[in-house]
Amino acid sequence: MTPVRRIAAEALGAAMLLAIVVGSGVMGQRLAGGNDAIALLGNTIATGAGLVVLIHMFAPLSGAHFNPAVTLALLLRGDIARRDALFYVAAQFGGAVVGVWAAHAMFAEPVLQVSLKLRDGWGQGLAEAIATFGLIGTILTTQRSRPDFTPVAVGLYITSAYWFTASTSFANPAVTVARGLTDSFAGIAPSSIPLFIASQIVGAVVALVVFGWLMQEKSVVPDEFPITIYHNPDCGTSRNALAMIEAAGYVPDVVDYRQSGWTRPLLEQLLITMDASPRDLLREKGTPAAELGLLDEAASDEEILAAMVEHPILVNRPIVVTPKGTKLCRPSEVVLTLLEAAPAQFTKEDGQVVRLGTPEA
Choose the catalytic residue: 72, 174, 227, 235: 235
Check: CB of residue 207 under 8 Å from CB of residue 139.
Answer: no
Q: Cα–Cα distance between 183 and 196 in angstroms, integer?
A: 17
Our answer to whether residue 329 is catalytic in this structure is no
191 CB-near residues (< 8 Å, 6+ apart): 118, 120
Beta strand 228-231 pairing with 253-256:
parallel
Paired with 326 in beta bridges are: 321
Q: Cα–Cα distance between 53 and 15 in angstroms, integer?
A: 14
Segments in 107-235 forming alpha helices (H): 122-145, 150-164, 173-179, 193-215
Q: Cα–Cα distance between 361 and 344 in angstroms, integer?
A: 16
Active-site positions? 235
